[in-house]
Structure 1
Amino acid sequence: MSFKHSDDIWNDFPELAAGALHVGGIRKEVAVDTQVAHFEAVARARLSERTEGEFPEIQAWRRAFARMGLKPTQYRSASEALLRRFRKEGTLPKIHPIIDLCNAASLAFAIPIAVFDLGKVTGDLEVRPAVGDEIYTTFSGDMEFPEPQEIIFADTSGRAHARRWTNRQSGYSAVREETTAVLIVAEALHAGGEADVRRLIDALREAVGTIWSVDPEVAMLERAARRFDF
């Protein structure tokens, strides 16, 4: 399998910084409280000084959403939505250890992180503009079709696993109790994003290795090396 961003994405967003991890051996019966607490403490400290809307990481995604023709306060990146909820409620709901870990890391770095159950992905996965005939399944099981040119995560079969780039993942490939292998993707558009994504990927690799006793495959993606084979 492979993961990449299309030429259109790199041409339209040359500031993109992205990293990915392929993790096998995932199981639910593990404890992530220590790692989650660490990441949440980092986020809490940042939020004590300013709101998420003032973070450069979030502002960069708002500008990108505006360029895509979306209202930034109507369609928020995943990291902004998490930070906003965390600021208001002081915590996030527990879903699955790998999701809880990645959500907490997203809070700490203010960078959107997607986690896909690879058992539900057919062939390769690519971030690209939609044609408009791709199938997207919501968490409630409803079927939607992305708008033409909307940025999506699409697999070889034409299924969309995320809509509006970092805004909304599909329920079809969401992590569940039976999930054993995942692809984790982190993306940033702010100045200094490459260094921040690298730090985020390194932090996740260390945490995942400690918790699940596995050695994830890791890649930093750039225009000259945009494909991650795993």
Structure 2
Amino acid sequence: MQFRHSDAIWQAFPELRAGALYLDAIHADADVETAIAAFSTIAEARLSLAQEGEFPEIQAWRRGFSRMGLKPTQYRSASEALLRRFRQEHGLPRLHPLVDLCNAISLAFAIPIAAFDTEQITGDLEVRRAGGHETYLTFGGEIEHPEVNEVIFADGAERAHARRWTNRQSGLSAVRQQTRSVLIVAEALHATAGEDIGRLVATLSEALAHHWAVQPKTAMLSLASPRFEF
């Protein structure tokens, strides 16, 4: 199985930096609360100085959404949505230890992180422009079709596992109690994205190894090396 961004995405967003991790020994019994508290403290300290909309990581995604023809205050990157909710509610709901850990690290880095149950993905997964015929399953169980040219995570069965790039994941491949194998993707567009994605991947890899006792396979992706095989 492979994960990649299409050449067209790299060409349209040359500032993109991405990291990917794969782990095949996930379970829902890990205790990640101490780690969540530590990463949340980092986010709280940063939010005490400025709101998330002033962060360069968030501003870069807003510009990216504008270039995709989206209103950035109507459709927010996942990291901005998490930070906004965290600032307003002083916490996030618990969903699954892996998802909760990824969300906390996303808060600390202000970078969107997506986690996919690979058993629900057919063939390879590619970030590309949509043709408009692909199917997307909402968390409410409804079927949608992405807009033509919308950036999606598409698999070999023409199913969209995320819409509007980093805006919204699909309910189909969401991590659940029975999930065992996971692909995690982090993407950024800001000026220091390469350095920050590298730190994020290292931080997340260490946390995954600690809590699930398995070293994940990792990769840094670029136009020159766009594929992650796992």
- TM-score scaled by structure 2? 0.99
Aligned-residue offset at 1:2: 0.5
Aligned-residue offset at 1:24: 1.0
SS in 2 for 1:85: helix
Aligned-residue offset at 1:209: 0.1
SS in 1 for 2:220: strand
Aligned-residue offset at 1:188: 0.1
Q: What is the distance in 1 between the residues matched to 2:190 and 2:29?
A: 36
TM alignment of 1:113-124, pairs within 5 A: 113-124=113-124
Aligned residues: 230
Aligned-residue offset at 1:35: 1.0
* RMSD, aligned CA: 0.4
Unaligned runs of 5+ in 1: none
Q: What is the distance in 2 between the residues matched to 1:41 and 1:93?
A: 16
Deviation per CA, 1:71-126: give whole Å up to 9, x if none: 00000000000000000010000000000000000000000000000010001000
Aligned-residue offset at 1:206: 0.2
The match for 1:206 is: 206
Q: What is the distance in 2 between the residues matched to 1:162 and 1:30?
A: 26
The match for 2:192 is: 192
SS in 2 for 1:114: strand
Q: What is the distance in 2 between the residues matched to 1:36 and 1:199?
A: 17
Deviation per CA, 1:209-228: give whole Å up to 9, x if none: 00000010000001100100
Paired AA for residue 79 in structure 1: S
The match for 1:16 is: 16
Paired AA for residue 72 in structure 1: P
Q: What is the distance in 2 between the residues matched to 1:219 and 1:229?
A: 9
Q: What is the distance in 1 between the residues matched to 2:225 and 2:50?
A: 36
Q: What is the distance in 2 between the residues matched to 1:153 and 1:126?
A: 5
1:2 is the counterpart of 2:2: yes
Runs of 4+ in 1 over 2 A off after TM superposition: none
The match for 1:32 is: 32
